[in-house]
Structure 1
Amino acid sequence: MNPLNIYFAQFKAMRKYSSNEENPKGISILSVVLTYFIPIACGVVSAMLNYHLASADSLLSMLGILAGALIAAFAQLASWREKFSEHWTKDRAHKPERWLLDAAIAHLLAGAYSSVVASLLVIVSLIVNLPTYFPAITHSICSALIIVLGIHVVVSLLTSLPKMYAAYVQLNHVSQLLNGQEYF
């Protein structure tokens, strides 16, 4: 399987909801900017400033915990999706909820994958930090890539949370007094 499929799914999840699957609405520009351009811009700035990551141990443990948490959240959403799929095949009224769950799953998996790749890059950056073997620029490049992937993880999580909440509210018919989607 091509790991880029996860990121393609995340990009497709940035589409605005449309009940017509054959003619989907456009991509949310804000989501694309937050999810892809902001992390890349931060990585470019860190590379230009020759930024080096100092504390790899805490970063490695944080990325590992994030990857595990995102995969656990994916498992929970996948079980919800499976639980409700038998009702959704007969009923088109739950199509928005299915869209929200599928979009949240795509964002969570992309964040988890980025977290695992960033963890590997932290280990690589520890190796290339040895001054006698590699030039200093390799550590700067690894640091920039870790920053790009780390920010992508956080933004993917932040993007999936409103979708998960909206799906929860719609699936569980949360009272308007408590659902947060109705204003005061």
Structure 2
Amino acid sequence: MSERFNVLPVLRGHWKGLTDGRHAAQRADVVARLSLLLPVVVFGLMLWREGRLAAPASLLTGVALMAGGMLSAFTHLSTLRLKITEWDSPGEASRFEVERGMLDETAAHLLTGSLLCAFNAATLVIGMNVGVTKTGHLYGFWAAASAGLSSYVLVVFVFVIPRLYSAYVQINDVSSELNGFDRRRRNRRR
């Protein structure tokens, strides 16, 4: 297989990124990994219950926008990662080791989400040409596959948002008054 089409490193990075970073040794984040069963359940239910997608064209638009947004976030992320590398002094321990790990993990998640959006778009386009009812509803395998892929992308999106926010807060040293991770109440001025 040509390495040009090999997406396995991206998927492996996505899987490896589903770890619980609160421990010295890397441990699997069981809850995050189990949440990836949700798309399998959605796919199965759609097939079993003969589910239909009433507006596949709208879903295709949303998938395309999501792919673009994730790729855009990835480019911003890679720029931020480069800045961290520039800020660190050669030969010294990194001040941003945790943040660097979060950015590396998030990059794999964003690229996996973008890749799945592309697969979902292809599934929708093919399905809209071979698996549509007279009323324009997508049905059967194509509807189930699209619903499963869309669910997976949603789960990945939910993974990514807190990681991006956490990296932003830590790298930019956001004040405790505005830091959402700081549970203290904001001082109110009268």
TM bucket, shorter chain = 0.7 to 0.9
Aligned positions of 1:71-110 closer than 5 A: 71-88=71-88, 90=90, 91-110=93-112
> 1:23-172 alignment to 2 at 5 Å?
24-34=25-35, 36-88=36-88, 90=90, 91-129=93-131, 139-172=139-172
Deviation, 1:56, is 1.6
Aligned pairs, number: 174
> Hey, what's the Cα distance between the residues in 2 that align with 1:101 and 1:89?
19
After TM superposition, the score normalised by the length of structure 2 is 0.85
The residue number in structure 1 matching 2:20 is 16
Superposed CA RMSD in Å reads 1.9
Q: Aligned-pair distance for 1:157?
A: 0.9
Deviation at 1:68, TM superposition (A): 0.4
Question: Going by fraction, where is helix more abundant, 1 or 2?
Answer: 1
Structure 2 gap ranges (5+)? 185-190
1:4 maps onto 2:8 in alignment: yes
Q: Distance in 1 between matches of 2:155 and 2:79?
A: 24
Q: Secondary structure at the match of 2:52?
A: coil
> CA-to-partner distance for each residue in 1:49-93, whole Å, 9 max, x for gaps?
011222121111111011001100000001111122123363422
Is 1:107–1:156's contact at 8 Å kept on the other side of the alignment? Answer: yes
Q: Given that residues 64 and 115 in structure 1 are in contact (C-alpha distance below 8 angstroms), is that contact kept between their aligned partners in structure 2?
A: yes
Distance 1:49 1:123, change over 3 A: same
Cα deviation digits, residues 69-128 of structure 1 (max 9, x gap): 110000000111112212336342210000111111111111111111100000110122
Q: 1:4-30: CA deviations, max 9, x gaps?
A: 32221111001122786xxx4211011
Quick one: which amino acid aligns to residue 174 of structure 1?
A: V
